[in-house]
Amino acid sequence: MNPKKLKQLKKKAKRQSTQATPYIAELTKYRDWFQDDPQILVLLNNALEADRLLAAGLAPQQLPLLQVPDNFQDQLIARINAKYALHDPAGDAEWNRLSAALPKVDHLLRDFRDYLEDQYGMWAYISAPFLKDLADFVGNEPVLEVMAGNGYISKGLSRLHPQQTIYTTDSKAWTKEADNQTGKHPVTTIEGLDAVSAFEKYADQVKAVIMAWSPDKLTMDWDLLQAMRASSVHVPLICLGEKYGATGSKQFWDQAHYRDDAAVEKLNRHYRPFDLIHDQVYVID
């Protein structure tokens, strides 16, 4: 089977699993099970709180790395041995129950991004601390967001800078085949323009362009970069994505010119990986 097709099938099956099971109910159940184990409890609580805030229409907080620590079983054994006498059946029962649950807990935590995609159409994890850093970076200057999806970045910026002009755009042409909520429940007004058309319309009115998680393998990002370079207007492109990974095209990553300075480093201080995807913020001139 074609490797790309196999990857797509695996991704589809993974999304179906998060939709078919009561994901948040499972997280809540295991939070109760691991009440006495802070290392696991804090991870489950972080995921549950992020879901609560998003459901309320608010930006979530930054996440820690959502996976069971490698040394946790040793700590679990030590806790149970300290709590129960040697050969106490209650201790054996607790060990059997919790140790058997660990693979499931780890799987649930690693699937949190899939849940966010399915439930909220959020691909790049847009936290409140990151939004503050981004707002500080762009200031009150007019900005353009392309491929905005449901508009989480634009909405977050507008809350921090209510008077700022933000042009939020997405053609949504690609969302027809998306098996998730991307573009289907916008949190702000989104103008139906593709990235190049949006830039051509607003280039002389903005001081920066924001692009988060351009679709994997598609060349919309490269088309935009070429249009920006051909323009007489020169503004930076703030790009959120995983270089040569889960987002964007090879042409884009090959041809982009990346800024490397203290301001870019500050943009990334609260934009940290919480799973196996290592996306970050790039500023491209």
**Residue 14 pLDDT > 90, yes or no?**
no
What is the reported pLDDT for 151? Answer: 97
Q: The tokens 């491209």 sit on which residue?
A: 284
Give the separation between CA 34 and CA 42, rounded to whole angstroms.
Answer: 10
Burial-class residue 281 by CB neighbours within 10 Å (0-12, 13-18, 19+).
buried
Q: Looking at residues 257-284, what average pLDDT do you find?
A: 97
What is the reported pLDDT for 18? Answer: 52
Give the separation between CA 99 and CA 127, rounded to whole angstroms.
Answer: 32
Phi, psi of 240 (to 5 degrees): -105, 120
- As a whole-number percent, the residues of the chain with pLDDT over 70 amount to 89
Give the separation between CA 278 and CA 125, rounded to whole angstroms.
Answer: 12
Phi, psi of 171 (to 5 degrees): -70, -25
* The total number of residues written for the chain in this structure: 285
> Beta strands 208-212 and 237-241: pairing type?
parallel
Give the separation between CA 143 and CA 166, rounded to whole angstroms.
Answer: 5
How is the chain split into domains, by residue range?
3-120, 128-284
What is the reported pLDDT for 4? Answer: 43
Q: Which CATH architecture has domain 128-284?
A: 3-Layer(aba) Sandwich (3.40)
Give the separation between CA 155 and CA 148, rounded to whole angstroms.
Answer: 10
Q: Looking at residues 24-49, what average pLDDT do you find?
A: 98
**Residue 15 pLDDT > 70, yes or no?**
no
| Residues paired with 215 in a beta bridge | none
Structure confidence by residue, pLDDT tens digits, 214-254: 999 999 999 999 999 999 999 999 999 999 999 999 999 99
DSSP per-residue letters across 3-65: HHHHHHHHHHHHHHHHHHTTHHHHHHHHHHHTTT-HHHHHHHHHHHHHHHHHHTT-PPPPP--
**Residue 2 pLDDT > 80, yes or no?**
no
Res. 173 pLDDT band, cuts 50 70 90: confident
Give the separation between CA 129 and CA 85, rounded to whole angstroms.
Answer: 46
Determine what percent of the chain falls in helix, strand and coil, rounding each to the nearest 5.
50, 10, 40
Q: Looking at residues 155-175, what average pLDDT do you find?
A: 92
Overall pTM surpassing 0.95 (yes/no): no
Average pLDDT of the chain is 92
What is the reported pLDDT for 100? Answer: 97
**176 vs 47, which has greater pLDDT?**
47
What is the reported pLDDT for 9? Answer: 44
What distances in angstroms separate CA 94 from CA 32, 33, 81, 90, 246, one per listed residue? 13, 10, 11, 6, 39
H or E element that contains 154: helix 152-160
